[in-house]
Amino acid sequence: NAGVTQTPKFQVLKTGQSMTLQCAQDMNHEYMSWYRQDPGMGLRLIHYSVGAGITDQGEVPNGYNVSRSTTEDFPLRLLSAAPSQTSVYFCASSPGQIWGNQPQHFGDGTRLSIL
Amino acid sequence: AQSVTQLDSHVSVSEGTPVLLRCNYSSSYSPSLFWYVQHPNKGLQLLLKYTSAATLVKGINGFEAEFKKSETSFHLTKPSAHMSDAAEYFCVVSDPGYSTLTFGKGTMLLVSP
């Protein structure tokens, strides 16, 4: 089972560049979300989606865009990369709402460095 | 508002000794509580969850946690540590009343031979 697949695994960008982090899941989950993980801060929610065509902001949305055209895919776009966006990014999916009693299924992460 | 406090940033144990990772939470409603484990360069994997059924919850790899409402705690334990348990552990509170999911800052478990 593939589960949640994130690409790329590593990326280095220059300040001001844009890029898209890809996320795909094969479990037919309605709910998907993006988190960033910084040392000593746990995971913080960037954006989430409750189904195709529906997205909403999380705790730290500034500088990021998302879209959800299909159930399977939930890409995260950095519009103009800044050093403060250096982080590890995780995509997750869930069969139930993210603040319910269903667990999240996580990808292996994208490690992003902004120079 | 809800919050999660993992009381130790690092815990060191010897292989074969008990493990205790502490988590306190605050929530205004009846929360769901989770423990996840993260191995190096991997995503988070569910260890166990509490969703208002039995207060003692058994998870994978011999871990268990006890929900204590009076103490607002959800500590993770394992009777005997194994080298493969070395990882970072996250306590997570899910609160439908506030539509929020809050992660603790993590506890790094170090296991020595």
| pLDDT score for A42 | 87
Which segments of chain B have a pLDDT < 70? 1
| pLDDT score for B1 | 67
Q: Residue B52 region, left (φ>0) first, then alpha (ψ -120 to 50), else beta?
A: left
| pLDDT score for A3 | 94
Which of A100, A103, A107 faces B96 most closely, judged by CB atoms?
A100
| pLDDT score for A41 | 84
End-to-end CA distance of chain A: 36
Mean pLDDT by 10 residues, chain A (115 residues): 92 96 96 93 92 93 96 96 96 86 91 96
Distance CA B18, CA A69 (A): 48
- Secondary structure, 3-state, chain B: CCEEEECCCEEEEECCCCEEECEEEECCCCCEEEEEEECCCCCEEEEEEECCCCCEEECHHHCEEEEECCCCEEEEEECCCCHHHCEEEEEEEEECCCCEEEECCCEEEEEEC
| pLDDT score for B99 | 73
Residue A71: count other Cβ atoms within 10 Å of its Cβ. Answer: 17
| pLDDT score for A105 | 94
Contact across the interface for B44 and A100, Cβ inside 8 Å: no
CA dihedral (B93, B13, B62, B26) in degrees, to 10, reads: -20
Burial pattern B9-21, b for ≥16 Cβ within 10 A else e, equals eebebeeeeebeb
| pLDDT score for A29 | 94
Can you read off the two tokens belonging to residue B95? 């609160």
Residue B64: count other Cβ atoms within 10 Å of its Cβ. Answer: 16
B96 touches chain A (CB under 8 A): yes
B34 touches chain A (CB under 8 A): yes
Distance CA B56, CA B81 (A): 19
Residues of chain A positioned with their CB less than 8 A from the CB of B100: 99
